[in-house]
Structures are given as structure tokens and as C-alpha cells.
Chains A and B, each alone.
Chain A
Amino acid sequence: MIAFSDERRLPLRPWMIPAFILEVYAFALAFLQAVGGVRTDEAKYLLNIPYPHPPLARTIFSLTEFLPFQEMLWRVILASVLVQAVWLVWDMGRRLPRPSRFVLAASWLLSAAVITLGGAILVATLTALQGLVLLWLWECKWEAGKEINFFSRFPLIHRKEWQACLIGIWWLFSLFTAYQAVIFLPLVLALLRRCGTSFPLRVLYGWLPLGLLGIYTLSNPLAAATMLIHADDGSSVTAFTRLWGTAKLLLIAGSGVATVLGLLGLLRRRSRPVLFSFVLLLFFVLGSVPYPYYALLFLPFLSFGVLHVLDHERLSVTVVLPSLAAAAVVLVFLFPPEFHRSPARAVMQAIIPRDKQGDILITHSFGHEWQYESPFTVRHFRRPLMADAQAIVCQEQCDDFGFEWKPLSVRGITDLPEVWVRSSP
């Protein structure tokens, strides 16, 4: 009989059980999002369609395109990093008493934005995490020889010149992940100043990445054109809609309770770089169409604010935690995740087994999820293209296409879209 002695057992560290529980939470968030299937923005990132954001994250996503479980893989990874990021929030509050640290961690984990968007494949998730790391660095007081946090164990990082370089690389990666990372410029410049970086090096680490992003934008006219189109879309949105949209995003980001505490904390702390970045974010959201996923961008700022309220106020955990949880439940109920499933997957699952070749033509405008679900070329419907097509998807009622074409019944779809396939064998 083979038996291991007690000494060979995996030692149970204190962080393992919470990490496991957090991972279960992350998996639940990923599966919650999977109910709605792949959305157009998610498909854009998974297929590496070159707009609107810079290429870093979407290139990495698309490297796994050969995997049949690509969608679920990234849902789980993104939900996991978002949920496990609470360790950074926990670390930021190391000076607080334990009950207050639980309130701080809950402000992150019980955010309605985390619950409703945690498992979505979005670059906003990555931008929120990139922002959290910068805020965490801002909270770290780097003192030589003192073990302040995990990174204090690496002597190289104690050197100011390496800290500045790593901040520069983080900033460069953040910018090449998503344009909205630009809002962190004041924070990055302040961090570089704190490292004692000279002016030329601040230009190198802080401003040069912005220049590179500008050059990238010029190299991809579609990205530039999309930004102009989105700006144009936003011009029809009224000031009231923008304000209400932004207020709603703030409410969702902090589940109401952490929104109020976070805003109070931000104002009380009066940390200029953090406030500047937050104001830039406000302007960014107010100036664009307030998409729901922007709520994630507010999250690190609100947790930072909550930290500074907890510094001064001893809030009762037994009051704050249940209030936060109750507010999160109400907000998730009021603004639930997108459960409406695009018909793309069902339609493609009906077309693929026919084992025919040819394009899929789709009438009216359609999302990139159609491309994601299809192993065939997808095009807009044009009559001359019918000769090389194997199926036509009509998103509104279509005329009869003639004897060569017959309707295909798709499981779960009774009305629209109509699917037509060639009647010949």
C-alpha cells in the first residue's frame, strides 16, 4: 500500500481557503455571463478585429482562437483576475483594523459592476485592474529595507530607477490595451515624480507611450474613424441622458453604499493625481455614450475612496456589509446582466451540420457575434453574391428567393431571423 507521511501533505496556507472561495465566485460570474452567449464587443476582441482599441489585449485573446472553449476560457480568466484583484484592495488597507478591511474588500467584491460584468470579455476589466495597480502603488510607501508588500521581497524593485521603468512599462501596456487608460496619466506622472525621476525620464516613461499610442492610431485609420463615429453617435445624446447615465454607472460601480463612501473618501483624501484621473474619467464618460461597462472603470477609484473614509471613520461592519450586499442585490435586479442570447449561435448550429461550402449572407446590420459563431465567411446580403452563398439570414421578413432556396427551421427560433439554404443537394 502506498501512503504519504504527514510531512508530504500540501501545507494549507491561510490564504488558500479565501482564494478558493473567491475562485468559486469568479467561476459563477463567468457562467452567469455565458448564459447570454458572445456579444458583438466580445467577438471583436476574441477574433482580433482591428478596432476600436489598440492591439495588445485582443491579440492575446485571439491567440487562443483554435480552442473550442475560447469564450469560456477568457470569461473565467477575466472574472478570476477581477475577483482575485481584491487581494490588492486588501493590501491597500493593511493599516486598517480587520473589520474595516472586510468592508474595503466588500466594496470591491459586492460591486454590482463586478457581479453583472465580471465574466464578460471586456478590455474595461483590464483597464480597471491596471488602474487598481496604479492606485495600489500610490498607496504603497516605498521605504528601503522595510517589507511593505509582496514586491518588497525583490531587492531590484527597491531601486527607484527600476520602479520608474516598471511603471513606464505598465503604462505602455495599459495604453496599448485600451484608449481609456489615458485617464491614468496624472497618476502615472505623480508616481514617476515620487520615484525621483528626472524630467527627461518622466517624458520617456510618461509622455512617450502617449506619443506611441498616437502613432498607432494613425497607422490604423479604422480605429481613428470609429472614434469619430462614436463621437458623432454621442452628439445626439442629451446632457440629461449623459448625466443620468454617468450617475447610474457610479451607482452600479459602488453598489450605492460604496459609491457614497468612495466619493466622500476621494474628496476627503484630496490626493490631486487621483482626483485628476477621476475627473478625467468623469469627462470621458460624460463625453461619450455611457456604455454599461464603463462602470468597471469607476470601481478602483471608489475602493480607493472607501479606504480613506475607513481611515477616519470606524464604520460598523454589521451595518455596512449587509447594506452593501442588499444594495448590490437590488441593483443587480434593476440592471441585470444581458441574458438575451443572440440568435447567431442557434442559426450556425443549424447551418454547420449541413456540411456545405459557401458564404453566409445576412440582411440588415449585424454584430460581430455572427462572425464569431461562423466557420464560414460572413457578408452583408447582396443579390449578386447569392451564387456563392450557402445560406441567407433575414433579420426581417424576406421575399421568396426562388426555387433554389428553401427555409431552414432553427431550433428555438420561431419567427425571426429567417434562415434560407440552398434546396439543391
Chain B
Amino acid sequence: MAKSFPALLFGCLAILILAILTPRVWLLRKLYLDSDLRSTVRVELNGINAQEGILLSDMLVQEVTDNTMRFRLQFHRRGADNSGCLIDYFSTGQVHFCAKSGPPPGPAPATP
């Protein structure tokens, strides 16, 4: 037992990291499996950038479905960042705040 304790400890650390990362990858699986969806996401992100002037590095894609893209918008700046969760509907091109997320202070969300 004493000999396998270090391996056990390392295994627990690896499982912890895996437990944090796997759900995130699962929500993004369609982004990697469907090339059409991938190009749609790229177009939508570029559209939001073109309309709202938001930096691509301020948008973190969190979930992609056939019709929507959920992303976290975080305006990086010195001090507390304004951030919020947004959903982009591919069919209408409209962007809304996620149901449980309040709007980040500042201009209204993008409607590309």
C-alpha cells in the first residue's frame, strides 16, 4: 500500500483534472465532429466581432448545438472584468443572455 500510495495520489490528481475537463469537451463535441457547424461558429464569432467590436479572445465558446452556440463574454481589463453568458441562435443570428445570467454592464448584446 505504501509503495502504491504515490501512484494513487497522482491518479486522483489526474481524475480530478479529467472530471473538470471532460464535461466541457462533451459540450463542445459537435464543434469538432461537424465541419459545417465549425464554419458556422467561426462565421458567427467573426460576425459578433465585426458588429460589436468584441475581441475574439474575450469570447469563450462553452457549448455548441445544431442551432445555438453558448459562450462566455468576458471583457478583459485591469480590475474586475465585466462578464456574462450569452447564447447565439444560428437561425436568427440573434444573441441573448443565458437564462440564469444577468447582463454584463455596458452596451446591449450583439444582434448580428
Which residues of chain A have a CB within 8 Å of any CB of chain B?
44, 47-51, 65-66, 161-162, 164-165, 168-169, 172, 201, 204-205, 208-209, 212, 215-216, 218-222, 359, 361, 368, 371-382, 384-385, 388
With contacts A212-B21, A371-B76, A375-B79 taken as known, whether A221 is within 8 angstroms of B28 at the C-beta atoms is: yes
A-B contact pairs, 10 of them (CB 8 A): A47-B76, A49-B58, A50-B57, A65-B79, A172-B13, A204-B7, A218-B32, A376-B77, A377-B75, A384-B51
With contacts A218-B32, A385-B53 taken as known, whether A165 is within 8 angstroms of B10 at the C-beta atoms is: yes
**B residues in contact with A382, CB < 8 Å:** 50-53
Contact pattern, B 1-34, Cβ under 8 Å of A = 1, otherwise 0 = 0011111011101100110011011001001100
Is the CB–CB distance between A222 and B21 below 8 Å?
Answer: no
Least CB separation from B20: chain A residue:
A219
**A residues in contact with B14, CB < 8 Å:** 172, 204, 208-209, 212
Interface centre among B58, B61, B78, B106 (most CB of A within 10 A): B78
Least CB separation from B54: chain A residue:
A379
Contacting A161 at CB < 8 Å: which of B6, B50, B55? Answer: B6
Judge whether B67 is part of the interface by a CB distance below 8 angstroms.
no
A164 to B5 Cα, complex, angstroms: 12
With contacts A172-B13, A212-B14, A216-B21 taken as known, whether A161 is within 8 angstroms of B60 at the C-beta atoms is: no
Q: Tell me, rounded to whole Å, the shortest Cβ–Cβ distance linking B106 to chain A.
A: 6
> Which 6 A-B pairs have CB atoms at the shortest separation, nearest pair first?
A165-B6, A379-B53, A380-B53, A219-B24, A377-B75, A382-B53
Is the CB–CB distance between A377 and B10 below 8 Å?
Answer: no
With contacts A220-B60, A380-B55 taken as known, whether A162 is within 8 angstroms of B76 at the C-beta atoms is: no
**A residues in contact with B22, CB < 8 Å:** 215
Q: Tell me, rounded to whole Å, the shortest Cβ–Cβ distance linking A99 to chain B.
A: 41
Contact pattern, B 67-110, Cβ under 8 Å of A = 1, otherwise 0 = 00000000111110010000000000000000000000011000
Judge whether B40 is part of the interface by a CB distance below 8 angstroms.
no
A165 to B5 Cα, complex, angstroms: 10
A221 to B71 Cα, complex, angstroms: 11
Which residues of chain B have a CB within 8 Å of any CB of chain A?
3-7, 9-11, 13-14, 17-18, 21-22, 24-25, 28, 31-32, 49-61, 75-79, 82, 106-107
Contacting A222 at CB < 8 Å: which of B9, B50, B57, B79? Answer: B57
A172 to B18 Cα, complex, angstroms: 13
With contacts A172-B13, A212-B18, A380-B49 taken as known, whether A374 is within 8 angstroms of B78 at the C-beta atoms is: yes
Q: Tell me, rounded to whole Å, the shortest Cβ–Cβ distance linking A418 to chain B.
A: 18
**B residues in contact with A208, CB < 8 Å:** 14
With contacts A201-B7, A212-B17, A385-B53 taken as known, whether A377 is within 8 angstroms of B77 at the C-beta atoms is: yes
Is the CB–CB distance between A359 and B107 below 8 Å?
Answer: yes
Is the CB–CB distance between A359 and B106 below 8 Å?
Answer: yes
Is the CB–CB distance between B21 and A169 below 8 Å?
Answer: no
Is the CB–CB distance between B57 and A51 below 8 Å?
Answer: yes
With contacts A165-B10, A205-B10, A218-B28 taken as known, whether A379 is within 8 angstroms of B55 at the C-beta atoms is: yes
**A residues in contact with B61, CB < 8 Å:** 221-222
Is the CB–CB distance between B13 and A50 below 8 Å?
Answer: no
A179 to B54 Cα, complex, angstroms: 27
Is the CB–CB distance between B54 and A221 below 8 Å?
Answer: no
A121 to B82 Cα, complex, angstroms: 25
Is the CB–CB distance between B10 and A368 below 8 Å?
Answer: no
**B residues in contact with A66, CB < 8 Å:** 79
A369 to B43 Cα, complex, angstroms: 27
A220 to B71 Cα, complex, angstroms: 11
Least CB separation from A172: chain B residue:
B13
**B residues in contact with A162, CB < 8 Å:** 6
**A residues in contact with B57, CB < 8 Å:** 44, 49-51, 222, 368
